[in-house]
Amino acid sequence: MTDPRTGSRWILGDKFDQKYPHLESISALWNKKWKFPSERSLYPFHDGKHEDFAPIFETLISKSIHDGYTDAYTKEFLPTCEALVKKADSASDDKTKIELYLRACAVYRIARFPYINSDVKRDAYQAQKDAYMKAASLFETPIKDISIPHTSGLHADGADIPLYVRVPKSASKDHPVPAVILMCGLDGHRPDNTTRSDEFLSRGWASIIVDIPGTADCPADRKDPKSADRLWDSILDWMAEQGVYDMKKVLCWGLSAGGHNAVRAAHTHAKRLAGAVGQGAGTHHFFSRAWLEKAKDHEYPWTALPALTEKFGYKTEEEFLDNAQKDFSLVELGVVDMPSTRLLLINGTHDGLMPVEDSMLMMEYGTPKEARLFTGLLHMGYPPANGSVYPWMESILGKVEQ
């Protein structure tokens, strides 16, 4: 496909062939992408503060530690994380405790970037979860860390599904509430979604936050595209058993790599979901060698190929590049030919990680879709994207008086 505005095969235009400047070094990543708030559109530091990160990146630069996949990178963050947690533990009021725990979580998040691929990064993620639950337990409406049985799982799947669950105080079996299943991304996991959970709660909706196959603690078989279907079966069955969720008003929202799961679920679970949001979703072109060989040099903080290779269960990057499209493309697998629930596709037209063409392609199949694409913006369509997502969700779920 050729964009008549640019003459390029991709809407991304000339940027498709460029190596983005932040990939030059750890110094470039910090100084050209992450140092200034206006440039944090893809991986904001959420509740972190500049003062937490600046000394760490100065040390990384001085030691020439460039590769975020290494333990050496992660270890430089841990003293700051531990100091913030210790300070929070001894704080005298809940507001200060929450602020400090969430700051620690923000640093832990960047420490375990870009993929949990070692014991050191797994320990960092566990420490992040521990700190997060200390904060979340102090929220006026707490977030609960629970595990449910994976009742639809097969032998290659794990036995339990860890979830972060937040239910409005008004919810009961007499007054069930709408709910959102939030499908996390390649590197954004359960403890990274406080703001979204707050937004859901303010509208009277419950939130069910889950890691996607191939990431973090998710038990689904990363090699099997149908393992995601089994994951949603187990979660939806469990939700129905609780009685506090209005099962006629359940949405899913997939973020980045999770967008792929949301688009798939919109088709495979059309009768069980009132709607789905695929934000920054890769559906077909994303899985092609032609895209991935260039996308690895775009806006991701480091090359995403090692993380994606492991996420989808391939032994080598070459195996991933050769097979990903036929194994996981929603077009190749015929998923897009199935009836779909209401599906909103959100992205920036200059997404260098998941091509906007993948959102547009969904319009060519099956049930009519809805979309909001942000001209010239990067992955996920940040910062304005959520301003379109929440009203769309409200049009389906409504607002519940607290």
pLDDT in tens, 22-62: 999 999 999 988 887 544 444 456 667 888 999 999 999 99
DSSP readout, 253-290? EEETHHHHHHHHHHHHTTTT-SEEEEES---SGGGSHH
**Which stretches of 25-116 are DSSP H helices?**
26-29, 50-62, 71-75, 78-89, 94-111
> Which amino acid, residue 198?
D
Contact 367, 340 (CB under 8 A): yes
Measured in degrees and rounded to the nearest 5, phi and psi for residue 142 equal -65, 160
What are the structure tokens assigned to 402, written together?
């607290």
User: Domain 142-402 sits in which CATH superfamily?
Assistant: Alpha/Beta hydrolase fold, catalytic domain (3.40.50.1820)
pLDDT (0 to 100) of residue 366: 94
**285 catalytic, yes or no?**
no
Residue with tokens 């007499």: 174
Q: Which of 47, 145, 211, 351 is catalytic?
A: 351
Q: 42 or 195, which is more confident?
A: 195
Where is mean pLDDT largest: 14-18, 20-24, 140-144? 140-144
Give Cβ neighbours of residue 86 (< 8 Å, ≥ 6 apart): none
Tens digit of each residue's pLDDT (9 = 90 or more) over 355-378: 999 999 999 999 999 999 999 999
User: Could you tell me which of 302, 281, 282, 354 has the C-alpha nearest to residue 19?
Assistant: 302
d(CA 199, CA 217): 25
* Region 98-114 average pLDDT: 95
Q: Hey, where are the domains in the chain?
A: 23-138, 142-402
Amino acid identity at 325: Q
Cα separation of 7 and 122, whole Å? 45
- Mean pLDDT to the nearest integer, 235-249: 97
Q: Which pLDDT belongs to residue 42?
A: 40
Q: What six digits make up the tokens of 148?
A: 């449910």
DSSP 3-state of 28: helix
Q: How far apart are CA 260 and CA 323, in angstroms?
A: 17
Choose, from 197, 227, 234, 256, the residue flagged as catalytic: 256
Largest interatomic CA distance in the chain: 61
Closest CA to 164 of 186, 138, 142, 185: 142
Active site residue 351: yes
The helix (run of H) or strand (run of E) holding residue 162 is strand 160-166
338 three-state secondary structure: coil
379 is catalytic: yes
Helix (H, G, I), strand (E, B) or coil at 251: strand
Q: What is the dihedral angle through the alpha carbons of 149, 151, 155, 157, rounded to the nearest 10 degrees?
A: -60
Confidence of residue 402 (pLDDT cuts 50, 70, 90): low
Asked whether the predicted pLDDT for residue 346 surpasses 80, the reply is yes
Question: Do 47 and 103 form a contact (C-beta atoms < 8 A)?
Answer: yes
